[in-house]
Amino acid sequence: MKKAISEFFKMVLILLAGKFKKFTMRFKKTKTMKDYMMVYYSQAKSARLTGKKVAWITSGGPVEPLIAMDVIPVYPENHGAMIGASKMGGHLCELAENMGYSADLCSYARSDISCATINGGPIGGLPRPDMLVCCNNICGTVLKWYEIQARYFNVPLFILDTPFCHTEYTEEMGRYVRAQFDEYIVFLEKACGRKFDFDKLKEVGHLSHQGQLLWQAVLDTATHKPSPMSAFDAFYHLALIVTLRGTQDVLDYYTWLAGYMKDRIARGIGAVPNEKYRLLWDNIPIWHRTRWLSEKFASHNACLVADTYTTAWCGALKYIDENNFIDSAAEAHARIYLNIGVDQMAKMVIEMIDKYDVDGFVLHSNRSCKPYSFGQLDIQKIVERERGIPCLMLEADMTDERSFSESQISTRIDAYMEIIKERKNKK
Amino acid sequence: MKELTQLKKVVSHPYAYIRKYKKQTGKKVVGYCCSYAPEEIIWAAGALPVRLFGTNENIHLADTHLQSYCCSLVRGILEEALDKRLDFVDGIIFPHTCDSFQRLSDIWRLNIPEQFHLDVVLPVKLDTPSAKKYMAAILEKCRKDLGKALGKDITQAMLARSVKTYNKIRSLAGKLYELRCANPQIISGTDFHAVIKAAMIMDRDQYLKILTQIVKQLQKAKPRKTRDEAKRLVLSGSVCTHPDIYGIIEDAGGVVVWDDLCTGYRYFEGQMNEKIAPLKAITARYLKRVICPAKHMELRGRGENLIRLVKQSKAQGVVFLLLKFCDPHAFDYPYLKEMLEAEKIPFMLLDMEAELPPVGQLQTRFETFIQIL
Ligand code: SF4
Ligand code: SF4
């Protein structure tokens, strides 16, 4: 059984990795991303057999306490990305629409909701959860989505409510979020039927912090010219910091990856062979078109060197005290990129523009994700005012490929690149 | 009824009423867009809380800040603000609700600097001890911040007075709902809607007086010859900014006997305890009232409430009014629908874009639905 599952995964992951073929081929390592993900998903899928509990958790949720309790965390959003990358989003979304869910809702949510009822998608559905952990620091969608799954699977739901920090993180908020970490622990003790292991949490908290630092180190290599990696590479390698945060595997992999990138720098190898233009990406990738977009920009000698999305997994590092996981986790979870005001987001974008020294800013206006996308037009205005670089907004959806107009987007990118080139040549 | 005429005038030209009111009283006006805005505190401070409904007409300024997939309510409110049509507003208060309003607050703060701006970041889940504590703390913070913005110390006595007024308004509105539910003919749907809407616009003391009169007269009114055949309906959704709906439903042979709208019964529901500290009483009501789908309480609470409303009001069907691009309501619809199906309660879904479909077309849709009841 286990073998069959793992064979199956191998197939799926090879399929998915095909999207990043150019990248994986260059990679020679005993344990690849594919291996890690395969082991991870087959362990999760066989939890029933091994007697482990499975929790579904949102991408920005505190996973460390779960790992400390030996619960396998599963991320519907990561699953959503896989669904998108394998171009199965449109079909699954349509099924959800037949169930009565509006086509204007987040496509991760739509595809996950329908996928759960048919065990469809690229990996035959996620393993059934024993509990659900929802942190609303990314959006209000996850609250509704997890309520739906809690009704469907009839399992306990824990909500970590992180008040939105429009302009400030107040004392009241701090007390509230901190108190919920205690409630979270009580919830886990009840769901697992045993005492919480605080020593283990310390260890996991430490690993998680290290993992985030290493992820930051990987992303930082893109400051070099030419950049050894592109945002599309980051989209691919992100999977581990999302799904295995808090484990040694993350450290092993990103230590190697950072070294690999540094080696490329030393040898002067860039992600885009003739890097002339450097761009910054905003919002979730268009999963069903990553490869096409990557090639499209590369054909203009443009490299998307960084993005606001993958940076979010190390964006709250400044609030983390690795020796005091729980107390600092409250603040770190409340103050992530999507849970702050538009002006603060713009400030972070400008910091990235300077840090990575980019020539342009490409914004994916993502129909699925309202909290990420509303405010983008203001961020664009602020960037244009403060840094004077050209911006391009592309309207699409991260997972639902049905309305994507390749020719239209292609034309827009061509026109945009002309502006970038002209501006740079003038300098 | 002259009181009714007065209210209808306010509702059809709310901004004219408010401008005049400001001139006459010198009071400050605080705008809000959601029934979780702690109005009681605003009114206690001697300012007029005014609910903003936005516009559907001639949207162009808001489009430079919000993409096409934003609900018409958020877009319409921003349009009016950017177009300086809300210049009578001294300040705006944003309680935390959905993702779209969350971002509207940011956009507002960055683009409309001439008004004071207050975020009241309420908890999203309401059913745990820490959430309750946080709610109390955040409303106390709101009291202080609002006092600062209005240059006033909002005292216990001021709050207590406001709580009393709101309790009276809400209990009278509840009576009005009951009267109309028992005898839908005593007041037309359109007029009823005007009475409800005025509660969110007018000077609350003045409104209380008028409402008292209206309820008194309706209590005496003999129902006109009953149209027995009119099918009884409950409206469910977020905001009903189209007063025409009531009339169209009536022309199609139905009558709205109750609602589950945030600009309807959900706004009036629940009394505050006048025997405890007023802020505590205000907090308790916000924690207890039937939730909006952007908040979390019980997993099936909204469905159970809807079924209860249908049964209590002896309604024969439910009409869902869902605003396009409204996530929280759209996520709840399938489960509400399922619960209604299990109870064999017929329902229909009306997706509302910024513009309603032509009246004729709407009426046909309602007629088709009403015929099966
Ligand atoms: S894509 Fe946006 S709306 Fe969907 S789950 Fe992620 S953060 Fe929430
Ligand atoms: S709850 Fe719905 S209707 Fe109300 S503002 Fe949010 S998205 Fe718009």
Nearest residue in chain A measured CA to CA from B134: A176
Confidence of residue A28 (pLDDT cuts 50, 70, 90): low
pLDDT of res. B221: 84
Given A197, A225, A251, the domain boundary residue is A197
- Amino acid residing at A345: M
Q: Does A389 share its domain with A260?
A: yes
* Secondary structure of residue B107 in the 3-state scheme: helix
Contacts of A67 (CB under 8 A, 6+ apart): A73, A204, A246, A247
Q: What is the pLDDT of residues A108-127, one digit of tens each?
A: 999 999 999 999 999 999 99
The predicted structure's pLDDT at residue B1: 83
pLDDT of residue A31: 82
| Interchain CB contact of B111 with A (< 8 Å) | yes
Q: What is the pLDDT of residues B84-98, one digit of tens each?
A: 999 999 999 999 999
Whether the upstream peptide bond of residue A226 has omega within 30° of 0, thus cis, is yes
The reply to whether A422 and A313 lie within a common domain is yes
Residues of B in contact with A338 (CB under 8 A): none
How far apart, in Å, do the first and last CA atoms of chain A sit? 62
Kindly state whether residues A162 and A289 are assigned to the same domain. no
Cβ of B167 below 6 Å from ligand 2: no
Question: Can you tell me the mean pLDDT for A395-409?
Answer: 95
* Percent of chain A whose pLDDT exceeds 70: 93
Q: Tokens 């940011």 label which residue?
A: B106
- How far away is chain B from the Cα of A186, in angstroms, using its nearest Cα? 13
A144·B109 Cβ contact <8 A: no
Residue of B33, B52, B74 with the most ligand 2 atoms within 8 Å of its CB, for mutation: B74
Q: Tell me which chain B residue has its CA closest to the CA of residue A364.
A: B67
Look up the domain containing A163 and give its range.
2-197
CATH number reported for the structural domain that contains residue A40 in this entry: 3.40.50.11890
Secondary structure of A262-303 as H, E, C letters: HHHHHCCCCCCCCCCEEEEEECCCCHHHHHHHHHHHHCCCEE
- Decide: A142 and A368 in contact? Cβ < 8 Å: no
Provide, rounded to the nearest whole percent, the portion of chain A with pLDDT above 90: 87
pLDDT at B241: 66
CA of A6 to the centre of ligand 2 (A): 44
Residues lower than pLDDT 70 in chain B: 224-228, 240-241, 354
* Angstrom distances, CA of residue B174 to CA of A343, B211, B258, B259, B269: 43, 11, 11, 12, 7
Ordered DSSP codes for A228-258: SS-HHHHHHHHHHHHHSTTSHHHHHHHHHHH
Q: What is the pLDDT of residue B339?
A: 98
Per-residue pLDDT tens for A224-274?
999 999 999 999 999 999 999 999 999 999 999 999 999 999 999 999 999
pLDDT value at A170 more than 70: yes
A341 touches chain B (CB under 8 A): yes
Residue B159 backbone dihedrals phi, psi, to 5 degrees = -65, -40
What residue owns the CA closest to ligand 2's atom 7? B326
Which residues between 297 and 336 in chain B have a beta carbon less than 8 angstroms from any beta carbon of chain A?
299-300, 322, 324-325, 327-328, 330-335
State which of A197, A222, A239 marks the end of a domain. Answer: A197
Neighbours of A348 (CB within 10 A): 16
CA dist B219 → A328, B179, B212 (Å): 60, 7, 11
Q: Whole-model pTM? A: 0.94
- Same domain as A174, residue A27: yes
Q: Which of residues 80-99 of B touch A (CB under 8 A)?
A: 96, 98-99
Q: What is the pLDDT of residue B224?
A: 67
Q: Please report which confidence band the pLDDT of residue A182 belongs to, taking 50, 70 and 90 as the band edges.
A: very high
How far apart CA B294 and CA B125 sit, in angstroms, is 9
Position A24 confidence tier, pLDDT thresholds 50, 70, 90 = very low
Domain count, chain A: 2
Q: Tokens 């059913």 sit at which residue?
A: B127
**DSSP characters over A295-361:** HHHHTTTEEEEEEHHHHTTTTTGGG--TTSHHHHHHHHHHTSGGGB-HHHHHHHHHHHHHHHT-SEE
pLDDT, residue A410, reads 98
Tell me the nearest-neighbour CA distance from A252 into chain B, angstroms.
37
Residue B49, both tokens: 């809380």
Question: Given CA atoms A238, A243, A246, A248 in this order, what sign does their dihedral have?
Answer: negative
How far does the centroid of ligand 2 lie from the alpha carbon of residue B73, in Å? 7
DSSP state at residue B196: H
What is the DSSP code string of A85-118?
Answer: HTT-HHHHHHHHHHTT--TTS-HHHHHHHHHHHH
pLDDT of residue A13: 52
Whether ligand 2 lies within 6 angstroms of the CB of B290 is answered as: no
* pLDDT given at position A18: 45
Mutation probe of ligand 2 site: the residue of B56, B239, B302 with most atoms within 8 A of C-beta: B239
Q: Tell me how far the alpha carbon of residue B65 lies from the centroid of ligand 2, in angstroms.
A: 17
What was the pLDDT predicted at B68? 96
Q: Which residue has the higher pLDDT, A140 or A5?
A: A140
Residue B151 burial class via C-beta count within 10 angstroms: exposed 0-12, middle 13-18, buried 19 and up? exposed
Could you tell me the CATH number of the domain that includes residue A379?
3.40.50.11900
Kindly report the nearest CA distance between residue B62 and chain A, in angstroms.
Answer: 11
pLDDT recorded at residue B353: 80
Mean pLDDT of chain A: 92
CA atoms of A259 and A217, how far apart (whole Å): 10
Q: Is A147 on the interface with B (CB under 8 A)?
A: yes
The architecture (CATH level 2) of B23-153 comes to 3-Layer(aba) Sandwich (3.40)
Whole-angstrom CA distances from A301 to A221, A275, A276, A306, A359 are 19, 5, 5, 15, 12
Residue B67 touches partner A, C-beta closer than 8 Å = yes
Asked which of A179, A197, A215 is the last residue of a domain, the reply is A197
Query: In this structure, are A180 and A307 located in the same domain?
Result: no
Residues A135 and A32 both lie in one domain: yes
Same domain, A126 and A216: no
A58 has a pLDDT exceeding 80: yes
pLDDT(A25) > 50: no
Question: According to the model, what pLDDT value does residue A32 have?
Answer: 87
Check whether residue A209 and residue A159 sit in a common domain.
Answer: no
